[in-house]
Amino acid sequence: MKRFIMALVLVSLCFLAISASCAEESEIIKSGEWSYHVLDDGSLMLDMYYGEMHGLAIPRFIDDKPVTAINGGGIPSSTVKSVTIHDAISQIVYNPFYACNTLNEIEVNPDNPYFTVIEGALVSKSDNRLICYPGGLSETKYEIPDGIKVIGQRAFSLSQVLKEVIIPESVEVIEDSAFYTSTQLESIMIPEGVQTIGANTFESCISLTKVVLPDSLCSIGDHAFFRCSALEEIVIPQNVEEIGDCAFSFCALSEVIVPEGVLRIGQQAFSSCSKLTRVVLPGTLKEIGMGAFRNCGIKEVVIPEGVTNIGDGAFFSRELDSVTVPDSVIEIGRSAFRGSDKMVVIVGRGSYAETYCKDNEIAFTYAN
């Protein structure tokens, strides 16, 4: 775990270093246990904490300049147990404490007009955003307070204890990586009103077995459920139009029914779901991304009329017996159907798919 956290720290430092090179005023300066950069108004944003305090008070001044902001991921300490935020902090980019797995208490000065603590969690007052649930708390179940509208970026990231999080109906947005690598999380029910699941939201939640998605959902982000290796079932709502890249890669799904309305299945969206043996694709579908169903257990697939593009290696698999390709397809990537010596492509006479099979020496037969 320590190596993992250190890796995250290095990634954060690399990102900060790249950002710092963009403009002279954003140069990162190290001073004592902190590094910071100067904002346009002359105040400081804290970028990284290097100390080992158990009780950490965010400084009011560094090098005679006022501290008003904290960058995301800036306090990756494995020793900090409590944090006090003073009343002049007006900006927190996203959860500064997501790699701080010992943190069990956050205190905000009651005179701070921007942030507060509600039932243990750090919350932004202006948009009712839950910024941080302390990773060092021992409870296995947490009910997000009613009234919270946004679950912020990495708010529950790296939690090693939580098994269940109850999300109230007030929540409208779940931001990127909100539950990233919450390894003990077993179930989640997303309420009606949420329209998008952000990128990496539940990535590497390896204990996640039950997910309920709302009918209001329109988009499933890249890597949203990537490496949720215990997830065996998912019902994709009717309003979803796009399934992002690697959204369900390395899951334990056995069947996927993609509903009518979905226009695009992203690159590697279901790749390496080795238990996946059945997939149903909708008539609204236009594009199947590169490697979308690569290395799955599917034996037979019917691509519906209306699909125009099939990406490289989209159905590459040793298990595949047959693929039916409609006349609407005008582009097929390399090795889209490779991997199995017994595989036959079913095509229309004079179709692009027929020409593709001939050019690539792939066995085919006619649909009629």
Return the closest-CA partner of residue 272 out of 302, 252, 301.
Answer: 252
Asked if residue 255 belongs to a domain, the reply is yes
> How crowded is residue 291: how many other Cβ atoms within 10 Å of its Cβ?
26
Residue pLDDT, tens place only, 235-269: 999 999 999 999 999 999 999 999 999 999 999 99
Distance separating alpha carbons of residues 157 and 161, to the nearest angstrom = 11
Please report the pLDDT score of residue 265 as a whole number. 98
Asked if residue 224 belongs to a domain, the reply is yes
Asked if residue 13 belongs to a domain, the reply is no
Number of structural domains in the chain: 1
Asked if residue 339 belongs to a domain, the reply is yes
Please report the pLDDT score of residue 18 as a whole number. 44
Asked if residue 53 belongs to a domain, the reply is no
Please report the pLDDT score of residue 78 as a whole number. 87
Asked if residue 348 belongs to a domain, the reply is yes
Domain span at residue 267? 186-368
Residue pLDDT, tens place only, 114-169: 999 999 999 999 999 999 999 999 999 999 999 999 999 999 999 999 999 999 99
Q: Which residues of the chain have pLDDT under 70?
A: 1-25
Asked if residue 198 belongs to a domain, the reply is yes
Strand order of the sheet with strand 187-189?
Answer: 141-143, 164-166, 187-189, 210-212
Asked if residue 337 belongs to a domain, the reply is yes
Residue pLDDT, tens place only, 178-192: 999 999 999 999 999
Q: What percent of the chain has pLDDT over 90?
A: 90
Please report the pLDDT score of residue 8 as a whole number. 46
Please report the pLDDT score of residue 352 as a whole number. 97
Please report the pLDDT score of residue 10 as a whole number. 47
CATH of the domain at 291: 3.80.10.10
Exposed/middle/buried for residue 245 (C-beta within 10 Å: 0-12, 13-18, 19+):
buried
